[in-house]
Amino acid sequence: MLFKQQALLRQKLFVLGSLAIGSLLYLVARVGSLDRLQPICPIDGRFRPHGQDEIPLRTLQFKRGLLHEFRKGNATKEQIQLHNLVQQLPKAIIIGVRKGGTRALLEMLNLHPAVVKASQEIHFFDNDENYAKGIEWYRKKMPFSYPHQITIEKSPAYFITEEVPERIYKMNSSIKLLIIVREPTTRAISDYTQVLEGKERKNKTYYKFEKLAIDPNTCEVNTKYKAVRTSIYTKHLERWLKYFPIEQFHIVDGDRLITEPLPELQLVEKFLNLPPRISQYNLYFNATRGFYCLRFNIVFNKCLAGSKGRIHPEVDSSVITKLRKFFHPFNQKFYQITGRTFNWP
């Protein structure tokens, strides 16, 4: 009798186990199906770049994981040829500005299934040693992509380095250039904060921001201080305009990208001639971090690194006032050149 009861119990457990495994397999298949439904890109959405053949955007996004494997180097030549993958020179570059939000912009643009990003800063055009290696070396630093996708890289040092505009022009005179800016004084303090954090990690001392930003001999703004000099946006932009027309630049509001990212990203989509695919679904506010995070699909989310959004040190209000007064005429000229006005004090 006891033996029959044990056999019956084992039979019931086997049935329940089979049902559980079956349910799990169904859920796995269902998640894959939902992922392919493309909440980011509707099935009927297609991207036609300048007369080339169409390619479904959902196909591009569905194979994003495959591209990730190739970027890690886990691909043979046969696999690359089979999937028609190439390493393309960038069709758009985020050239600056340092501490303006270049990383956030690049990661957010990567939400678009027609965009592939270079994960690391290449520093090809601003580094003489790298530049001497040639354009083919640069191209091989780019991620694998499909021919209809746009490759984008970002190196904020490009904006302030004198040789870079001419070098990029020689590569592609029609390239699209993205510049993301923040209120100049805030950006300078953020720049200082990053350097300060690096010094503290090495147990090194560093001057206070006020001592660096203000010349102690003249009590005027110290334009030799790199953090200040970088925030004079119009001076750097004028150098770029010797090679590229203003129509090839798009200015992104870095302050607004923090608080209202979607409108800024939609403007970039339009500038890059991309179909509108990034939606509010892809962006959700993380109250713990105080920033927007990214939702690629039903199973994959991503937040920016914890080093983003550092707390700034307190700065003497008179120094902030002096800096804002100093930047004001440069800001006005920047508005005039770019045709975009910001609510900077």
Q: What is the pLDDT of residue 58?
A: 44
Burial of 315 (0-12, 13-18, 19+ CB in 10 A): middle
Q: What is the pLDDT of residue 11?
A: 57
Q: What is the pLDDT of residue 301?
A: 87
Neighbours of 206 (CB within 10 A): 14
Residues 6+ apart with CB under 8 A from 160: 96, 97, 98, 229, 230, 236
Cis-peptide into 31, omega within 30 deg: no
Q: Which of 99, 117, 176, 322 is catalytic?
A: 99
Q: Give the residue ranges of the annotated binding site.
A: 99-103, 182, 190, 292, 308-312
Residues 6+ apart with CB under 8 A from 306: 289
Cα–Cα distance measured from residue 288 to residue 274, given in angstroms and rounded to the nearest whole number: 32
Residues 6+ apart with CB under 8 A from 332: none
126-142 burial, b if ≥16 CB within 10 A, otherwise e? bbeeebeeeeeebbebb
In the chain (345 residues long), the average pLDDT of successive 10-residue segments reads 51 51 44 34 34 42 52 57 84 97 96 95 98 98 95 98 98 98 98 92 90 96 98 98 98 96 98 96 88 87 73 94 98 97 93
Q: Is residue 99 flagged as an active site residue?
A: yes
Q: What is the pTM of this model?
A: 0.78
Q: Give the residue ranges of the annotated binding site for 3'-phosphoadenylyl sulfate.
A: 99-103, 182, 190, 292, 308-312
**Any bridge partners for residue 142, and if so which?**
none
Q: What is the pLDDT of residue 203?
A: 86
Integer CA distances (angstroms), 45 to 9, 60, 276, in order: 53, 11, 9
Q: What is the pLDDT of residue 178?
A: 98
Q: Which residue matches tokens 């592609």? A: 172
Q: Which of 81, 146, 154 is nearest to 117 (CA)?
A: 154
Cα–Cα distance measured from residue 277 to residue 265, given in angstroms and rounded to the nearest whole number: 10
